[in-house]
Amino acid sequence: MKALRHLLSMDDLDRDDIDYLLDLTQRYVEVSERKIPRIPALRGKTVALVFYEDSTRTRISFATAASRLSADTLGFDVKRSSANKGESLRDTIETISAMGIHGIVLRHFGAGAPWRVCEWTDASVINGGDGRNQHPTQSLADLFTARQHLGELDGKRVAIVGDIKNSRVARSNAIGFAKMGAEVVFVAPQTLLPVSLEGWPVSVTHNLDEVVDEIDICYLLRMQLERQHDAPVPTMREFHHEFGLTAARADRLKEGALIMHPGPMNRDVEIAGEVADRPNAVITEQVANGVAVRMAVLFVLIGSRLDLVEESSLADQESAVA
Ligand code: CP
């Protein structure tokens, strides 16, 4: 794949890059299944986890991925940091960078924040979610999980359903699935769609019942109440009735069709609680695969940087995927 210093958006990757990362992920899944799931690929490297928004999956899976590659992690708890005393993002990044780090995983409420951070550090920056904009490693975990079950994604039909307006996962996955040859349809009320979808590789419907029998993946999105400042739907009960994956709709999915969700879920809002636990719901597999995908991303960004490679670590690099 092409040399990549940062991963900020699914737009940074072409299909060959995605294929390379997913193939490498498969090798790291195998590493993760070993009795001692650790290789020396990033020994001596430090990754800072800088999270200005809450996270369970992304933060813990990056920490686990770094540990499995023998990298050290530097945690940054914004609630206990000098950001609380008014320190700017730039000063925070420059301070952390001065401690000698090689990678920064950034989650920030501001769309575009990771692009600014790249200007303030020599470390490789990975976007762990910026506002409503992008969440590329979630998309890679989803593509990997979908490919594991369905094979190549060319011609597969993917419905992304719910609060698309506020979802960085929807934006990353629209790009990711389309680059892998899938057809993406957004399913949402007008009030939960972005003002313009010009240039997006998607079609749109306001009726889940129109497409539910034909799709290969039903990808539900969390209702992001914390980002909704108006009332885009009358009630959650009504939203569930009109746009949720109810048991009746889940029964209509094709045989082999997958139910996906990035988590955290609002059970009985976007997805019926019982449906989330069905065998074709691969939600916990998405989480598990998130570790191996993030190992692949950390290795490709940090382990492949020639300016960071020392003579003594070349053997470690070569054994990274062995
Ligand atoms: N899917 C996802 O980004 O989850 P977290 O917010 O728990 O990281």
CB neighbours of residue 133 within 10 Å: 20
Give the per-residue pLDDT at 250: 98
Average pLDDT over residues 214-238: 86
Task: Report CA(140)–ligand 1 centroid distance (Å).
Answer: 13
Backbone conformation region of residue 70, classed left if phi is above 0, alpha if psi is from -120 to 50, else beta? left
Give the per-residue pLDDT at 221: 98
At residue 318 the predicted structure's pLDDT band, cuts being 50, 70 and 90, is low
Give the per-residue pLDDT at 224: 78
Q: Is the pLDDT of residue 99 over 90?
A: yes
Give the per-residue pLDDT at 304: 78
- Residues serving a catalytic function are 57-58, 85, 107, 135
Contact assessment for residue 79 and residue 52, using Cβ atoms and an 8 Å cutoff? no
Q: Is the pLDDT of residue 231 over 80?
A: no
Give the per-residue pLDDT at 320: 56
Tell me which residue of 257, 320, 263, 253 sits closest to 289, measured CA to CA: 263
Average pLDDT over residues 13-24: 98
Residues 96, 290: Cα–Cα separation, whole Å: 25
Q: Is the pLDDT of residue 284 over 90?
A: yes
- DSSP string of 287-320? HHHHHHHHHHHHIIIIIT-GGG--GGGHHHHHTT
Give the per-residue pLDDT at 79: 87
At residue 305 the predicted structure's pLDDT band, cuts being 50, 70 and 90, is confident
pLDDT tens column, 166-204:
999 999 999 999 999 999 999 999 999 999 999 999 999
At residue 315 the predicted structure's pLDDT band, cuts being 50, 70 and 90, is low
Residues 235, 231: Cα–Cα separation, whole Å: 9
Q: CA 121, 124, 130, 133 torsion: positive or negative?
A: positive
Give the β-pairing of 124-130 and 72-77: unpaired
What pTM does this model have?
0.94
Please measure the distance between the N-terminal and C-terminal CA atoms of the chain and give it in whole angstroms. Answer: 18
Q: Is 263 close to ligand 1, i.e. is its CB under 6 Å away?
A: yes
Q: Is 138 close to ligand 1, i.e. is its CB under 6 Å away?
A: yes
Average pLDDT over residues 37-53: 97
Q: Is 226 close to ligand 1, i.e. is its CB under 6 Å away?
A: no
Average pLDDT over residues 126-132: 97
Tokens of 212: 């539910």
Give the per-residue pLDDT at 229: 72
Q: Is the pLDDT of residue 311 over 60?
A: no
What percent of the chain lies above the pLDDT cut of 90? 87
Q: Is 58 close to ligand 1, i.e. is its CB under 6 Å away?
A: yes
Average pLDDT over residues 134-149: 98
Q: Is the pLDDT of residue 115 over 80?
A: yes
Residue nearest to atom 6 of ligand 1 (CA): 55
pLDDT tens column, 53-67:
999 999 999 999 999
Contacts with 194 (C-beta within 8 Å, 6 or more apart), sequence order? 164, 165
Task: Report CA(56)–ligand 1 centroid distance (Å).
Answer: 6
HEC per residue, 51-100? ECCCCCHHHHHHHHHHHHCCCEEEEEEHHHCHHHHCCCHHHHHHHHHHCC
Q: What atom of ligand 1 comes closest to residue 129's alpha carbon? A: 3
Tokens of 203: 């079609």
Give the per-residue pLDDT at 76: 85
At residue 312 the predicted structure's pLDDT band, cuts being 50, 70 and 90, is very low
Task: Report CA(313)–ligand 1 centroid distance (Å).
Answer: 33
Amino acid at 252: R
Burial of 151 (0-12, 13-18, 19+ CB in 10 A): exposed
Burial of 160 (0-12, 13-18, 19+ CB in 10 A): buried
- Specify the DSSP class assigned to residue 254: P
Q: Is the pLDDT of residue 249 over 60?
A: yes
Give the per-residue pLDDT at 232: 79
Average pLDDT over residues 101-127: 98
